[in-house]
Amino acid sequence: MSATIFPCKSCGARLEFAPGAGVLKCPYCGADNQIPESAEEIFELDFHAYLAEASASEETMEATTATCTACGATSTVESHTTLSHCPFCGTQFMVKAQPHRFLKPRALLPFKVTQNEAWGRFRAWLKKLWFAPGTLKSFARASDSLKGMYIPYWTYDTNTTSQYTGERGDNYTVSETYQTKDTQGRLITRTRQVVKIRWRPASGVVRNDFDDVLVLASNSLPRSKTERLEPWDLKSLVPYRDEYLSGFGAEAYQVDLQGGFDLAKGIMDRTIRSSICRDIGGDHQRIHAVKTRYDNITYKHILLPLWISAYRYRNKVYRFIVNGRTGAVQGERPWSKTKIVFFVIAVIAVAVIVFKLLQ
Protein backbone atom coordinates (compact mmCIF):
# COMPACT_ATOMS: atom_id res chain seq x y z
CA MET A 1 0.00 0.00 0.00
CA SER A 2 2.73 2.38 -0.96
CA ALA A 3 2.44 5.69 -2.77
CA THR A 4 4.60 4.45 -5.63
CA ILE A 5 4.31 6.55 -8.80
CA PHE A 6 4.29 4.69 -12.10
CA PRO A 7 5.32 6.85 -15.11
CA CYS A 8 3.78 6.37 -18.55
CA LYS A 9 6.17 4.72 -21.02
CA SER A 10 4.96 7.09 -23.75
CA CYS A 11 4.81 10.53 -22.14
CA GLY A 12 6.11 10.09 -18.59
CA ALA A 13 2.86 11.22 -16.90
CA ARG A 14 1.56 9.45 -13.80
CA LEU A 15 -0.43 6.31 -14.58
CA GLU A 16 -3.67 5.20 -12.91
CA PHE A 17 -5.20 1.75 -12.72
CA ALA A 18 -8.16 1.42 -15.10
CA PRO A 19 -11.04 -0.54 -13.51
CA GLY A 20 -12.28 -3.33 -15.73
CA ALA A 21 -9.38 -3.01 -18.16
CA GLY A 22 -6.73 -4.49 -15.88
CA VAL A 23 -4.05 -2.07 -17.08
CA LEU A 24 -2.44 1.20 -16.03
CA LYS A 25 -3.84 3.94 -18.26
CA CYS A 26 -2.34 7.35 -18.90
CA PRO A 27 -4.94 10.12 -18.27
CA TYR A 28 -3.06 12.42 -20.68
CA CYS A 29 -2.04 10.45 -23.77
CA GLY A 30 -4.41 7.51 -23.24
CA ALA A 31 -1.66 4.89 -23.56
CA ASP A 32 -2.18 1.52 -21.92
CA ASN A 33 0.66 0.19 -19.78
CA GLN A 34 0.43 -3.51 -18.93
CA ILE A 35 0.78 -4.71 -15.34
CA PRO A 36 3.39 -7.47 -15.16
CA GLU A 37 1.89 -10.84 -14.30
CA SER A 38 2.92 -12.17 -10.92
CA ALA A 39 4.04 -15.75 -10.48
CA GLU A 40 3.54 -15.44 -6.72
CA GLU A 41 1.11 -17.95 -5.28
CA ILE A 42 -1.73 -16.84 -3.02
CA PHE A 43 -1.65 -19.16 -0.02
CA GLU A 44 -2.96 -19.31 3.52
CA LEU A 45 -0.67 -18.60 6.49
CA ASP A 46 -0.68 -20.45 9.79
CA PHE A 47 -2.64 -18.47 12.38
CA HIS A 48 -1.08 -19.84 15.58
CA ALA A 49 2.45 -19.71 14.17
CA TYR A 50 2.04 -16.01 13.44
CA LEU A 51 0.68 -15.22 16.90
CA ALA A 52 3.42 -17.26 18.58
CA GLU A 53 6.56 -16.34 16.68
CA ALA A 54 6.14 -15.28 13.07
CA SER A 55 4.96 -11.75 13.79
CA ALA A 56 8.56 -10.57 13.84
CA SER A 57 9.53 -12.32 10.61
CA GLU A 58 6.29 -12.08 8.61
CA GLU A 59 6.58 -9.82 5.57
CA THR A 60 5.54 -6.26 6.35
CA MET A 61 5.47 -3.03 4.40
CA GLU A 62 5.66 0.66 5.19
CA ALA A 63 3.40 3.40 3.87
CA THR A 64 2.76 7.05 4.61
CA THR A 65 -0.59 7.32 6.36
CA ALA A 66 -2.85 9.99 7.79
CA THR A 67 -5.48 9.51 10.47
CA CYS A 68 -8.79 11.39 10.28
CA THR A 69 -9.31 13.56 13.34
CA ALA A 70 -13.07 12.93 13.28
CA CYS A 71 -13.62 9.20 12.69
CA GLY A 72 -10.14 7.77 13.26
CA ALA A 73 -9.81 6.09 9.84
CA THR A 74 -6.19 5.61 8.77
CA SER A 75 -5.61 5.90 5.01
CA THR A 76 -2.55 5.97 2.82
CA VAL A 77 -1.58 9.37 1.41
CA GLU A 78 1.19 10.80 -0.69
CA SER A 79 4.01 12.30 1.33
CA HIS A 80 3.47 15.81 -0.05
CA THR A 81 -0.28 15.94 0.83
CA THR A 82 -1.17 18.67 3.35
CA LEU A 83 -5.00 18.82 3.22
CA SER A 84 -7.40 15.95 2.72
CA HIS A 85 -11.06 14.97 2.80
CA CYS A 86 -11.69 11.76 4.71
CA PRO A 87 -13.43 9.30 2.35
CA PHE A 88 -15.14 7.62 5.32
CA CYS A 89 -16.81 10.60 6.99
CA GLY A 90 -16.28 13.58 4.64
CA THR A 91 -14.31 15.62 7.18
CA GLN A 92 -11.62 17.94 5.86
CA PHE A 93 -8.48 17.84 7.98
CA MET A 94 -4.85 18.84 7.96
CA VAL A 95 -2.69 15.88 7.09
CA LYS A 96 -0.03 14.88 9.60
CA ALA A 97 1.57 12.15 7.54
CA GLN A 98 3.65 9.55 9.32
CA PRO A 99 5.21 6.22 8.37
CA HIS A 100 3.20 3.18 9.35
CA ARG A 101 4.32 -0.46 9.28
CA PHE A 102 1.83 -3.28 8.97
CA LEU A 103 1.38 -6.76 7.55
CA LYS A 104 1.65 -6.74 3.79
CA PRO A 105 -1.57 -7.79 2.01
CA ARG A 106 -1.24 -11.15 0.29
CA ALA A 107 -3.80 -10.47 -2.39
CA LEU A 108 -6.48 -8.10 -3.64
CA LEU A 109 -9.43 -7.84 -5.99
CA PRO A 110 -8.77 -5.10 -8.57
CA PHE A 111 -11.49 -2.56 -9.30
CA LYS A 112 -13.82 -3.65 -12.11
CA VAL A 113 -16.60 -1.03 -11.73
CA THR A 114 -15.54 2.39 -13.05
CA GLN A 115 -16.21 5.66 -11.26
CA ASN A 116 -18.82 6.63 -13.90
CA GLU A 117 -20.63 3.35 -13.35
CA ALA A 118 -20.53 3.90 -9.60
CA TRP A 119 -21.91 7.42 -10.12
CA GLY A 120 -24.79 5.91 -12.09
CA ARG A 121 -25.57 3.60 -9.20
CA PHE A 122 -25.40 6.53 -6.77
CA ARG A 123 -27.79 8.70 -8.79
CA ALA A 124 -30.22 5.81 -9.31
CA TRP A 125 -30.21 5.27 -5.55
CA LEU A 126 -30.85 8.97 -4.92
CA LYS A 127 -33.90 8.97 -7.21
CA LYS A 128 -35.52 6.33 -5.02
CA LEU A 129 -35.16 8.40 -1.85
CA TRP A 130 -38.38 10.00 -0.74
CA PHE A 131 -38.14 12.96 1.64
CA ALA A 132 -34.37 13.36 1.20
CA PRO A 133 -32.92 16.85 1.86
CA GLY A 134 -32.35 18.95 -1.25
CA THR A 135 -28.70 19.43 -0.28
CA LEU A 136 -28.14 15.71 -0.84
CA LYS A 137 -28.63 16.03 -4.59
CA SER A 138 -26.29 19.02 -4.77
CA PHE A 139 -23.71 16.95 -2.92
CA ALA A 140 -24.09 14.21 -5.52
CA ARG A 141 -23.03 16.67 -8.22
CA ALA A 142 -19.69 17.33 -6.52
CA SER A 143 -16.95 15.86 -8.69
CA ASP A 144 -14.81 14.61 -5.82
CA SER A 145 -17.49 13.12 -3.57
CA LEU A 146 -17.02 9.51 -4.70
CA LYS A 147 -13.69 7.92 -3.82
CA GLY A 148 -12.20 4.59 -4.82
CA MET A 149 -10.73 2.87 -1.77
CA TYR A 150 -9.18 -0.52 -1.08
CA ILE A 151 -10.53 -1.78 2.25
CA PRO A 152 -8.64 -4.29 4.46
CA TYR A 153 -10.13 -7.70 5.21
CA TRP A 154 -9.03 -10.94 6.87
CA THR A 155 -10.08 -14.36 5.63
CA TYR A 156 -9.93 -17.46 7.84
CA ASP A 157 -10.03 -21.19 7.16
CA THR A 158 -10.59 -23.66 9.98
CA ASN A 159 -12.08 -27.04 10.92
CA THR A 160 -14.40 -26.96 13.92
CA THR A 161 -15.56 -29.64 16.32
CA SER A 162 -18.52 -28.63 18.51
CA GLN A 163 -19.89 -30.54 21.50
CA TYR A 164 -23.40 -29.52 22.47
CA THR A 165 -26.23 -30.21 24.89
CA GLY A 166 -29.82 -29.27 24.26
CA GLU A 167 -33.34 -30.59 23.77
CA ARG A 168 -35.32 -32.09 20.93
CA GLY A 169 -38.99 -31.23 20.60
CA ASP A 170 -41.44 -33.49 18.74
CA ASN A 171 -44.98 -32.46 17.96
CA TYR A 172 -47.90 -34.65 18.96
CA THR A 173 -51.64 -34.10 18.76
CA VAL A 174 -54.26 -34.52 21.49
CA SER A 175 -58.02 -34.13 21.51
CA GLU A 176 -59.34 -31.38 23.72
CA THR A 177 -62.94 -30.62 24.67
CA TYR A 178 -64.18 -27.12 25.22
CA GLN A 179 -67.48 -25.33 25.70
CA THR A 180 -68.91 -22.58 23.52
CA LYS A 181 -72.29 -21.12 22.59
CA ASP A 182 -74.20 -21.89 19.40
CA THR A 183 -76.04 -19.34 17.27
CA GLN A 184 -79.05 -19.51 19.61
CA GLY A 185 -76.97 -18.88 22.73
CA ARG A 186 -77.10 -22.43 24.05
CA LEU A 187 -73.98 -23.85 25.79
CA ILE A 188 -72.53 -26.79 23.84
CA THR A 189 -69.43 -28.99 24.14
CA ARG A 190 -67.08 -29.49 21.18
CA THR A 191 -63.77 -31.26 20.48
CA ARG A 192 -60.68 -29.90 18.77
CA GLN A 193 -57.18 -31.15 17.94
CA VAL A 194 -54.34 -29.39 19.76
CA VAL A 195 -50.64 -29.68 18.85
CA LYS A 196 -48.26 -30.01 21.79
CA ILE A 197 -44.51 -30.51 22.07
CA ARG A 198 -42.77 -33.39 23.81
CA TRP A 199 -39.24 -32.37 24.87
CA ARG A 200 -36.37 -34.74 25.56
CA PRO A 201 -32.63 -34.21 26.22
CA ALA A 202 -30.21 -34.19 23.30
CA SER A 203 -26.43 -34.04 23.02
CA GLY A 204 -23.79 -34.77 20.40
CA VAL A 205 -20.87 -33.58 18.34
CA VAL A 206 -20.93 -31.77 14.98
CA ARG A 207 -18.04 -30.89 12.67
CA ASN A 208 -17.80 -28.11 10.12
CA ASP A 209 -15.18 -27.01 7.58
CA PHE A 210 -14.93 -23.27 6.94
CA ASP A 211 -13.23 -21.70 3.93
CA ASP A 212 -12.53 -17.98 3.49
CA VAL A 213 -14.63 -16.64 6.36
CA LEU A 214 -14.51 -12.94 5.50
CA VAL A 215 -14.00 -10.33 8.23
CA LEU A 216 -13.83 -6.57 7.71
CA ALA A 217 -10.59 -5.31 9.30
CA SER A 218 -11.85 -1.72 9.48
CA ASN A 219 -13.91 0.19 12.03
CA SER A 220 -14.55 3.07 9.62
CA LEU A 221 -17.53 1.51 7.82
CA PRO A 222 -20.73 0.00 9.25
CA ARG A 223 -20.46 -3.80 9.13
CA SER A 224 -24.21 -4.10 8.59
CA LYS A 225 -23.74 -2.33 5.23
CA THR A 226 -20.52 -3.96 4.05
CA GLU A 227 -21.87 -7.47 4.77
CA ARG A 228 -24.77 -6.76 2.42
CA LEU A 229 -22.30 -6.12 -0.40
CA GLU A 230 -21.31 -9.79 -0.30
CA PRO A 231 -20.62 -12.18 -1.90
CA TRP A 232 -17.19 -11.23 -3.22
CA ASP A 233 -15.58 -13.28 -5.99
CA LEU A 234 -12.63 -14.31 -3.87
CA LYS A 235 -11.63 -16.94 -6.45
CA SER A 236 -10.52 -13.98 -8.63
CA LEU A 237 -7.99 -12.66 -6.09
CA VAL A 238 -4.65 -11.66 -7.60
CA PRO A 239 -1.28 -11.36 -5.83
CA TYR A 240 -0.76 -7.91 -4.33
CA ARG A 241 1.03 -5.36 -6.54
CA ASP A 242 1.35 -1.60 -5.99
CA GLU A 243 0.19 -0.96 -9.57
CA TYR A 244 -3.41 -1.86 -8.71
CA LEU A 245 -3.49 0.93 -6.12
CA SER A 246 -2.29 3.66 -8.47
CA GLY A 247 -4.96 6.37 -8.50
CA PHE A 248 -6.83 4.84 -5.55
CA GLY A 249 -6.64 5.11 -1.77
CA ALA A 250 -6.18 2.30 0.71
CA GLU A 251 -7.05 1.96 4.37
CA ALA A 252 -4.73 0.37 6.91
CA TYR A 253 -6.34 -2.33 9.02
CA GLN A 254 -7.65 -1.33 12.46
CA VAL A 255 -8.75 -4.82 13.54
CA ASP A 256 -5.71 -7.03 14.15
CA LEU A 257 -5.40 -10.72 13.31
CA GLN A 258 -6.62 -12.00 16.70
CA GLY A 259 -9.46 -9.50 16.85
CA GLY A 260 -10.52 -10.50 13.36
CA PHE A 261 -10.68 -14.17 14.34
CA ASP A 262 -12.84 -13.29 17.34
CA LEU A 263 -15.29 -11.68 14.90
CA ALA A 264 -15.01 -14.69 12.59
CA LYS A 265 -16.12 -16.94 15.46
CA GLY A 266 -19.37 -14.98 15.62
CA ILE A 267 -19.90 -15.47 11.88
CA MET A 268 -19.14 -19.20 12.10
CA ASP A 269 -21.37 -19.62 15.15
CA ARG A 270 -24.47 -19.15 12.99
CA THR A 271 -23.47 -22.08 10.78
CA ILE A 272 -22.44 -24.19 13.77
CA ARG A 273 -25.80 -23.68 15.48
CA SER A 274 -27.66 -24.52 12.28
CA SER A 275 -25.74 -27.79 11.98
CA ILE A 276 -26.49 -28.56 15.66
CA CYS A 277 -30.21 -28.03 15.04
CA ARG A 278 -30.07 -30.43 12.09
CA ASP A 279 -28.21 -32.96 14.23
CA ILE A 280 -30.79 -32.72 17.02
CA GLY A 281 -33.62 -33.23 14.54
CA GLY A 282 -37.29 -33.22 15.47
CA ASP A 283 -39.75 -30.38 14.99
CA HIS A 284 -38.14 -27.98 17.47
CA GLN A 285 -34.67 -27.59 18.96
CA ARG A 286 -33.22 -25.93 22.02
CA ILE A 287 -29.47 -25.42 22.40
CA HIS A 288 -28.27 -25.08 25.98
CA ALA A 289 -24.47 -25.19 25.67
CA VAL A 290 -21.88 -25.37 22.89
CA LYS A 291 -18.13 -25.90 23.20
CA THR A 292 -16.20 -25.50 19.95
CA ARG A 293 -12.60 -26.39 19.15
CA TYR A 294 -10.94 -24.66 16.18
CA ASP A 295 -8.24 -26.66 14.36
CA ASN A 296 -5.96 -25.96 11.39
CA ILE A 297 -6.59 -22.20 11.45
CA THR A 298 -5.07 -20.29 8.53
CA TYR A 299 -5.55 -16.72 7.33
CA LYS A 300 -4.97 -14.21 4.53
CA HIS A 301 -4.77 -10.42 4.62
CA ILE A 302 -6.49 -9.05 1.50
CA LEU A 303 -7.79 -5.77 0.07
CA LEU A 304 -11.25 -5.39 -1.50
CA PRO A 305 -12.40 -2.44 -3.68
CA LEU A 306 -15.17 -0.02 -2.68
CA TRP A 307 -16.42 3.26 -4.10
CA ILE A 308 -17.28 5.41 -1.07
CA SER A 309 -19.25 8.61 -0.74
CA ALA A 310 -19.43 10.16 2.73
CA TYR A 311 -21.34 13.31 3.61
CA ARG A 312 -22.43 15.14 6.74
CA TYR A 313 -25.97 16.35 7.33
CA ARG A 314 -26.77 18.13 10.59
CA ASN A 315 -23.59 16.85 12.23
CA LYS A 316 -24.29 13.20 11.36
CA VAL A 317 -22.27 11.14 8.86
CA TYR A 318 -24.04 9.23 6.08
CA ARG A 319 -22.29 6.87 3.69
CA PHE A 320 -22.98 5.36 0.30
CA ILE A 321 -20.81 2.44 -0.80
CA VAL A 322 -20.54 0.48 -4.04
CA ASN A 323 -18.94 -2.94 -4.45
CA GLY A 324 -16.07 -2.22 -6.85
CA ARG A 325 -16.48 -5.63 -8.48
CA THR A 326 -20.23 -6.24 -8.80
CA GLY A 327 -21.75 -2.76 -8.49
CA ALA A 328 -23.92 -3.82 -5.53
CA VAL A 329 -24.89 -0.76 -3.46
CA GLN A 330 -25.66 0.06 0.15
CA GLY A 331 -26.40 3.47 1.60
CA GLU A 332 -27.42 5.50 4.61
CA ARG A 333 -29.74 8.43 4.14
CA PRO A 334 -30.99 11.48 6.05
CA TRP A 335 -34.65 12.52 6.19
CA SER A 336 -36.00 16.01 5.58
CA LYS A 337 -38.43 16.81 8.40
CA THR A 338 -39.73 19.78 6.43
CA LYS A 339 -40.68 17.62 3.45
CA ILE A 340 -42.33 15.07 5.72
CA VAL A 341 -44.39 17.78 7.48
CA PHE A 342 -45.53 19.28 4.16
CA PHE A 343 -46.44 15.80 2.88
CA VAL A 344 -48.53 15.05 5.97
CA ILE A 345 -50.28 18.43 5.67
CA ALA A 346 -50.98 17.75 1.98
CA VAL A 347 -52.44 14.30 2.75
CA ILE A 348 -54.69 15.76 5.45
CA ALA A 349 -55.82 18.53 3.10
CA VAL A 350 -56.69 16.02 0.35
CA ALA A 351 -58.56 13.86 2.87
CA VAL A 352 -60.60 16.86 4.05
CA ILE A 353 -61.47 17.84 0.45
CA VAL A 354 -62.54 14.28 -0.42
CA PHE A 355 -64.63 14.07 2.76
CA LYS A 356 -66.44 17.30 1.91
CA LEU A 357 -67.06 16.21 -1.68
CA LEU A 358 -68.55 12.94 -0.47
CA GLN A 359 -70.87 14.82 1.89
* Model confidence pLDDT, tens digit, residues 95-141: 565 666 677 888 999 999 998 898 888 778 777 666 566 666 665 55
Return the pLDDT at 88. Answer: 76
Longest dimension (CA), the chain: 100
| Pairwise pLDDT comparison (323 vs 60), residue with the higher score | 323
Q: Whole-angstrom Cα distance, residue 87 to residue 297?
A: 33
Q: Whole-angstrom Cα distance, residue 303 to residue 106?
A: 8
Q: Whole-angstrom Cα distance, residue 217 to residue 146?
A: 21
Q: Are 324 and 306 in contact (CB under 8 A)?
A: yes
Return the pLDDT at 82. Answer: 47
Q: Whole-angstrom Cα distance, residue 137 to residue 315?
A: 18
Torsion, CA 322, CA 228, CA 134, CA 351, rounded to 10? 150
234-268 as b/e: b if 16+ CB within 10 A? beebbebbbbbbbbbbbbbbebebeebbebbbeeb
Q: Whole-angstrom Cα distance, residue 256 to residue 153?
A: 10
Alpha carbon 325 to chain centroid, angstroms: 13
Most confident of 30-34, 75-79, 338-342: 30-34
| pTM, entire model | 0.80
Return the pLDDT at 143. Answer: 45
CA angle in degrees (0–180, nearest 5) for 302-51-58: 55
Return the pLDDT at 8. Answer: 81
Q: Are 213 and 264 in contact (CB under 8 A)?
A: yes
Strand bridging mode 284-313 / 107-108: parallel
Q: Whole-angstrom Cα distance, residue 23 to residue 17?
A: 6
**What one-character-per-residue DSSP string does 228-243 give?**
GGPPP-GGG-EE--GG
Most confident of 36-40, 99-103, 285-289: 285-289
pLDDT at 234 over 90: yes
> What's the alpha-carbon Rg for the chain, to the nearest Å?
28
Q: Are 71 and 245 in contact (CB under 8 A)?
A: no
| Pairwise pLDDT comparison (98 vs 305), residue with the higher score | 305
